[in-house]
Each structure stands twice: as C-alpha cells, then as structure tokens.
C-alpha cells in the first residue's frame, strides 16, 4: 500500500558570486556546518567546485508535489562541491541582494487544483454554450424552412402547432388566402389536441371526422406563430407545415430484421397486395396477402433459408406491391443473408430498399 509522503524539501533557485559578500571573503572556513535539508530535483553534491553562495527555496510538499514555499535558505558551496549552511548570516546576505519572488512551481499543487477546476468550469460552460449554439442554429434553420413552406404553400394546406409548450399538438387547415387574410378551419376545443409524436395522418383524418370551426387571421399574426420567429413565449407555435399531397401519400417504413422484413405504415392506410421473389435462389418467404395496413400498423414477412449450409450467403431480391386505393405502389428490396459466425446465427446485411417510381 502506498504511503502518504508529506514534509519539507528544498530546491536550488539562484547562485551569487562570493565577491558580493565581503564579510564572507577570507572567512569561509568558519562556515563548516553541512547543509542537511532534503532536496528533490537536484543533488546537493555537484560537479561545480566553485566558491559561491546559493539561494534555495524550502517548500512544503504532498507526495513530492510542492504545495507552498516556506522560506529562503542560504548555503555556501565550497571548492569541494559540498554545501554548508549560512543560516547564521542570513540577514546580512538578504541585505545585500534584491528580494525576489518565490518560483511559481513551488505552488504547484494549488496551481494544479486551480487548473483542474478551471478546465472543468470551461468544459461545462463550453458544452453548455455549444449546446445552446446548436439549439439556436437548429431553431434558425427550422424557422427559415417553415417560413419558406408558408410562403410557397397553396391552399388548402395544414399547420401543426405545439400547444402550451407541453407534450400535446393541435392541427389547423388553411382553406384559402385572400390578400393578407388567412381563412382557417380547426377542430372543436375538446378534441383538438393530440399526443406529441402522433403521426401526421392521424391529424389529417381527424379533420375529416368532425364538424370544424372557421376563423380568420392576418398573415402577420400567422407568421408570428412560426417556431423561433418570436422573442416572446407563445402558447402555440407552428412546428410543421403540411400539404395535402404529403398527408395523402403513404409513408412506409420497411426494415430488415433477423428473420425477415418488417413493414410499418406511418401514413395513409394502405393494403399490402403480395410480393414477388426475384432472388437467384428462392428461399421461403411467408407474408399474409391482401392485408389492410391502417396508420401506425405493421406486418412481418418471415424468411426460411433454402440452403442448410451455414457458410453459404444468400442474395435476396423482392418486389413488394401495395394499393392505396388510387394506384399500385411497388418497393424493391434487396439484401444478403449471411452467417454471422461464432454461433450468432444468420442475419441480413448490405440492404437496399427503394420505391419504384
């Protein structure tokens, strides 16, 4: 177990020619008490065999790291290279030399602590400042995008507002624009809020189900509600501008899983018709055909390998067909079914999923 080391040590600071001290010239032999102070960074023995006076700084240390200086110690180095104490004439010596500051390294531990605290504070402040800068930058980009979409939007279109800074949203439909006036339809107050993160199509379908309230606002008033476009805290801020086309276009999220495919519908309800297997060596896919996919619903396609050898990779190519009630939509899906090794089984890699236009 490491022992705690605390105590006093000294370090060489400066040397002076003996000629500066006339009371020492010719009397050096009377100073014959060896200097026995502990020394760390340099040896009291020296190859320098010149008669000179040396100033040393005594300091308090913890684990050999200087904490603060204690005093100046004066020593005489004789022709034999050894050090002898000049404590008896300390005040005479100090009256002949200009007083200097203690070396900064004798305060090393406090400096290290201060440096560590400073680095920590700068790090915390820097991260906070960087986070605030990124948030402001994101806010500015979002604001510019929303204002651009509002400028180019053609009625009817939809706006989604964050409500009261909480986790709830509301949606409104801009039916028409006459000069600087916007005519808007919205849901009754009791049913006009949705949980934050609700899929856009859920908003859209709600507007079709209920009797709406009509109102009108000026262009300036509407634009002031855009996220980040006001210096004041607002109860409602526009955080999305959506066209009918965006809302009525199916949004499918297709992803490979270990044993097949997951198809999730994030938009307009759609029907999965069937699939075509275009793989070089066809495996065994199992999908439920003619399956209606409502908003936020998903289906799984399960794959069973044809090759029983674990070291054989299989190329997968599928065409998935859907019907949204207006047209057929196709997706091409490809990947490689490989052995993960080490008993990890098989999985899909190098996956590509593209909609056929």
Token duo for residue 15? 């040397």
**Beta strand 157-163 pairing with 236-243:** antiparallel
Distance CA 205, CA 340 (A): 44
Q: Give the SS3 label for residue 32.
A: coil
Note the pLDDT of residue 312.
Answer: 65
- From residue 82, how far is each of 32, 46, 71 by CA, in Å? 10, 7, 21
- From residue 348, how far is each of 112, 287, 303, 316 by CA, in Å? 53, 18, 11, 9
Q: Give the SS3 label for residue 152.
A: helix
Mean pLDDT by 10 residues, the chain (357 residues): 69 83 81 76 62 84 78 84 84 82 77 86 88 87 89 89 74 89 87 77 82 89 79 70 84 85 88 89 80 88 66 81 89 83 69 86
Distance CA 300, CA 354 (A): 18
Q: Give the SS3 label for residue 189.
A: helix
In Å, the largest CA–CA distance within the chain is: 116
Distance CA 267, CA 246 (A): 9
Q: CA neighbours within 13 Å on the CB side: how many for 234?
A: 18
Residues 6+ apart with CB under 8 A from 102: 57, 69
Note the pLDDT of residue 308.
Answer: 47
């Amino acid at each position: 177990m490491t022992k705690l080391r605390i105590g006093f040590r000294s370090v060489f600071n400066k040397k002076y020619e003996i000629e500066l001290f006339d009371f020492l010239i010719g009397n050096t032999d009377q100073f014959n008490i060896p200097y026995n102070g502990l020394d760390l960074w340099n040896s009291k023995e020296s190859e320098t065999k010149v008669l000179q006076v040396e100033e040393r700084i005594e300091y308090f240390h913890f684990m050999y790291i200087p904490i603060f200086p204690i005093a100046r110690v004066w020593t005489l180095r004789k022709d034999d290279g050894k050090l002898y104490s000049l404590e008896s004439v300390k005040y005479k010596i100090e009256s002949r030399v200009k007083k200097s500051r203690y070396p900064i390294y004798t305060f090393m531990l406090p400096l290290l602590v201060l440096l560590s605290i400073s680095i920590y504070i700068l790090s915390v402040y820097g991260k906070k400042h960087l986070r605030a800068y990124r948030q402001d930058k994101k806010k500015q980009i979002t604001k510019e995008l929303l204002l651009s979409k509002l400028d180019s939007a053609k009625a009817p279109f939809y706006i989604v507002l964050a409500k009261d800074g909480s986790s709830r949203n509301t949606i409104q439909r801009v039916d028409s624009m006459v000069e600087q006036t916007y005519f808007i339809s919205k849901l009754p107050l009791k049913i006009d809020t949705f949980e934050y993160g609700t899929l856009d199509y859920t908003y859209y379908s709600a507007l079709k189900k209920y009797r709406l309230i009509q109102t009108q606002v000026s262009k300036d008033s509407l634009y002031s509600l855009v996220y980040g476009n006001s210096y004041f805290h607002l109860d409602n801020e526009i955080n999305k501008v959506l066209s009918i086309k965006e809302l009525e276009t199916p949004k499918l999220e297709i992803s490979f899983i270990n044993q097949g495919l997951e198809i999730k519908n994030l938009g307009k309800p759609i029907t999965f018709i069937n699939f075509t297997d275009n793989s070089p060596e066809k495996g065994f896919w199992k999908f439920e055909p003619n399956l209606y996919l409502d908003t936020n619903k998903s289906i799984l396609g399960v794959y069973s390998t044809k090759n029983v050898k674990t070291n054989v990779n299989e190329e997968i190519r599928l065409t998935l067909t859907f019907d949204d009630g207006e047209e057929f939509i196709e997706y091409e899906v490809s990947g490689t079914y490989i052995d993960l090794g080490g008993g990890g089984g098989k999985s899909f890699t190098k996956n590509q999923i593209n909609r056929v236009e």
